[in-house]
Amino acid sequence: MESVSLNFDPDAAVIFSTLAQNGYKAYIAGGFVRDSLLGRKPKDLDIVTNALPADIENLFPDTCSVGKEFGVVIVRVSHRGFEVATFRKDNPYLDGRHPNGVEFSDEESDARRRDFTINGLFYDPLSHRIIDYVNGLEDIDRQVIRAIGNPDDRFDEDHLRVLRAARFASVLEFTIDPATSLAVRQTAPKLARISRERIREELTALLTQSPRAGRGLELLRELGILDVILPDVAATIGQAQPPEYHPEGDVFTHTKLMLDQMENTSAQLAYAVLLHDIGKPLTATRGPGRDGLTRIRFDGHAEKGADMAEKILRGLAMSNSDVEAITHCIRNHMRFIDVKHMRTATLRRFVGGPYFATELELHRLDCLASHGSLENYEFIQRFLKTLASTPPMPERWISGRDVMALGIPEGPEIGHWVETAYECQLEGSFTDKQEALHWLREQVQKRGASDSAAS
């Protein structure tokens, strides 16, 4: 039992003092304690106590029962809710995910039912003591992920814990205890039984919270998890690439290097990086490159990869907006090759797209993890500076009404003139609306004269 002072929400102090004044124990549990000791910003504050749910409801005027059968009550203080759970031990797990009920118990049993030693610590905010029944403090010092008790039992109870082990190891940059690692490998195939939503939550946390997400991806491979949850990514292992463009090696190595270089990333960018080249194994052929020499080619891999990614992301129950953004970035990630040769209007449409910031960062990472040249990235940056005072896709100067005012009847021709005028506007063919209207009037008159001559 170690004495230490942890900072926590002062509103929660009311809960601890009230429970103590009425003869009950109350501790902060789990991840909050772990992250505080590691100097990380804690997230949710979970409170555990030997008070029964009925006792908690009697002691506090504002409560909400969210799982009384599992001993969990929400206590509101200053309009903020805190989870307060009664010490418990779990009944047998029948579905590989949830216990078939619980029994209220003591603090040591509650600690020993948890997944990993680093998550089994309690903190007494009144005595400032760390309460450790599972050697969690030692494993934090040693930077080790270790299952509490028999790892086979822990993973048989809840199969998702194997992915959580990889996630904690990647995010915290810890190693996994050998016995725990072996149990992860043996249980990994059972992840196929877990809901895809829960898989997505753990995978997203690994990708977006890890200091080096590429290391996390490699860990998923080593533990046998990748083949189960992302077989299309596993299929990139060993897929050779032309060394003149990809001296780093195969597609999987390239993806890991990109993931490792992400900083403060969004889920959209992380999944775009993870999946951007999954179409390569299915499109790999040998043929002439731009230099005329025969090499490995991946014609159409961006389009193929986007289609594959959509299926994967929908299988993970990703939101429609995320699916659209991620697949758009994957489908278009090869367009950067041609940016120097694009017409100004085309380039403005490209950089004015709704996901361009993510596309541009995906391109930068793609370059850094392969040939290393940022020539096209820097070209885009210079072009964006020229647009500093105007949006890439400004308001249209010519509308359908302007076209109709020149005598063009309703129909497809209206849209043709509106789009043609906008293309010229983006190209800089005129500087304001008056010039645009003058241009439009001249073009319509020329078209009319031409049609009359032809008839």
Q: Which CATH class is domain 236-394?
A: mainly alpha
Q: What is the CATH number of domain 1-139?
A: 3.30.460.10
Segments of the chain assigned to CATH 1.10.110.30: 143-229
Residues 6+ apart with CB under 8 A from 369: 248, 254, 255, 257, 258, 261
277, two tokens: 């080249």
For residue 97, the model assigns a pLDDT of 56
Which residues are CB-contacts of 142 (< 8 A; sequence separation ≥ 6)? none
pLDDT in tens, 315-342: 999 999 999 999 999 999 999 999 999 9
At 213 the pLDDT is 98
Angle, helices 267-275 vs 196-209, to 10°: value is: 100
Residue 448 has a pLDDT of: 63
- Contact between 430 and 439 under an 8 Å Cβ cutoff? The reply is yes
Q: Is the pLDDT of residue 366 over 90?
A: yes
Would you tell me the crossing angle of helices 344-351 and 412-427 to the nearest 10 degrees? 90
One-letter identity of residue 264: N
Confidence band (pLDDT; 50, 70, 90) for 292? Answer: confident
- DSSP result, 108-161: HHHHHTSSBGGG-EEEETTTTEEEESS-HHHHHHHTEE-BSS-HHHHHHH-TTH
User: Where does CATH 1.10.3210 sit in the chain?
Assistant: 236-394
Residue 91, pLDDT > 70, answer no
Given a cut of 60, whether residue 53 has pLDDT beyond it is yes
The rounded Cα 7 to chain-centroid distance in angstroms is 29
Nearest to 149 by CA among 161, 141, 160: 161
What integer pLDDT is reported at residue 93 of this predicted model?
67
d(CA 302, CA 276): 7
| CA dist., res. 407 & res. 420, Å (int) | 17
Res 150 pLDDT > 70: yes
Question: b/e map of 396-408 (b: 16 or more CB within 10 Å)?
Answer: bbbeeebbeeeeb
**CATH 3.30.460.10 occupies which residues in the chain?**
1-139
Q: In 3D, which of 285, 277, 282, 338 has the Cα closest to residue 302?
A: 277
Q: What is the mean pLDDT of residues 54-62?
A: 92
Confidence of residue 39 (pLDDT cuts 50, 70, 90): very high
pLDDT the model gives residue 162: 96
pLDDT-wise least confident of 349-353, 375-379, 425-429: 425-429
* pLDDT per residue as tens digits for the range 164-203: 999 999 999 999 999 999 999 999 999 999 999 999 999 9
pLDDT of residue 57: 92
At the topology level of CATH, where does 143-229 sit?
Hydrophobic Seed Protein (1.10.110)
CA dist 404 and 158 (Å) reads: 67
What average pLDDT does the structure give for the chain?
90
**pLDDT for the residue numbered 107:** 94
Q: How confident is the model at residue 337, as a pLDDT?
A: 94
pLDDT of the residue at 64: 86
Concatenated DSSP letters for 340-406?
GGS-HHHHHHHHTSTTHHHHHHHHHHHHHTTT---HHHHHHHHHHHHTTTS-SSPPPS--HHHHHTT
Backbone angles phi, psi at 238, to 5 degrees: 85, -5
pTM of the model: 0.86
Q: What is the pLDDT of residue 299?
A: 94
- When pLDDT is averaged across residues 256-273 and rounded to a whole number, the result is 96
When pLDDT is cut at 50, 70 and 90, the band that residue 100 belongs to is low
Question: What band does 386 get if pLDDT is binned at 50, 70 and 90?
Answer: confident
- As a whole number, mean pLDDT of residues 22-35 equals 94
> What is the mean pLDDT of the segment spanning 83-87?
93
- pLDDT of 451 reads 55
pLDDT tens column, 191-235: 999 999 999 999 999 999 999 999 999 999 999 999 999 999 999
* Residue 118 reports pLDDT greater than 80: yes
Q: In the chain, pLDDT over 90 holds for what percent of residues? A: 70
